[in-house]
């Protein structure tokens, strides 16, 4: 009888620990921002499959990671405009599917943009209106 009770207690403890560790891991799982081509404005970006916009503003926790995926018909270079200094891994997203990674080591307000290049050879697409300037504000708490 005591053995069955011990097994139940151990199983419950392991299940609880697994839930706690899963919550911790998912809290800092990378969030994705996708850049894509638009007929009006040339390009926009979306955070976590949300609506596509030229300007994004978001809040993230310290030590959060953002992944930028370039699904546009032109290259983009991710650039920091303001805020505490941070490193951008693979900032030159110079092909379709290229990924840049950004981590936030400290609290603060960070501002970013991209510098778009010319359309990839053979992929030129007509657009309507002035090209959007992509802007991103990240508030790290």
Tell me the C-alpha distance between 60 and 58, whole Å: 7
Quick one: which of 26, 35, 40 has its CA closest to 97? 35
Give me the number of domains the chain comprises.
Answer: 1
Q: Output the pLDDT for position 15.
A: 45
136 pLDDT more than 60? yes
| Mean pLDDT, residues 85-94 | 93
Residue 122 or residue 8, greater confidence: 122
> Does the residue 128 lie in any domain?
yes
- pLDDT, residue 69, reads 96
* Higher local confidence (pLDDT), 7 or 51: 51
C-alpha angle 104-29-44 in degrees, rounded to nearest 5: 70
Closest of 132, 128, 102, 98 to residue 116, by C-alpha: 132
More confident residue, 91 or 128: 91
* Residue 100 in domain: yes
Answer yes or no: is 6 within a domain.
no
Q: What is the CATH number of the domain that holds 98?
A: 2.60.40.420
Q: What is the pLDDT of residues 67-86, one digit of tens each?
A: 999 998 899 999 999 999 99
- The domain of 68 spans 30-140
Q: Do 72 and 96 contact (CB within 8 A), yes or no?
A: yes
Within a domain: 21:
no
The band of 2, judged by pLDDT with boundaries at 50, 70 and 90, is low
In a domain, 14, yes or no: no
pLDDT of residue 18: 41
pLDDT band, very low/low/confident/very high, at 123 (cuts 50, 70, 90): confident
In a domain, 4, yes or no: no
């Amino acid at each position: 009888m005591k053995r069955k009770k011990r097994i139940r207690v151990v199983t419950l403890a392991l299940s609880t620990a697994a839930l706690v560790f899963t919550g911790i891991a998912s809290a800092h799982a990378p969030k994705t921002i996708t850049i894509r081509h638009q007929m009006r404005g040339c390009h926009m970006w979306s955070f976590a499959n949300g609506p596509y916009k030229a300007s994004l503003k978001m809040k993230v926790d310290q030590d959060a990671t953002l992944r930028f995926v370039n699904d546009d018909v032109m290259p983009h270079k991710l650039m920091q405009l303001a805020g505490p200094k941070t490193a951008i891994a693979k900032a030159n997203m110079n092909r379709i599917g290229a990924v840049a990674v950004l981590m936030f080591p400290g609290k603060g307000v960070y501002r970013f943009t991209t510098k778009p290049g010319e359309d990839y050879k053979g992929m030129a697409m007509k657009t309507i209106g002035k090209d959007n300037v992509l802007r991103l504000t990240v508030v790290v708490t």
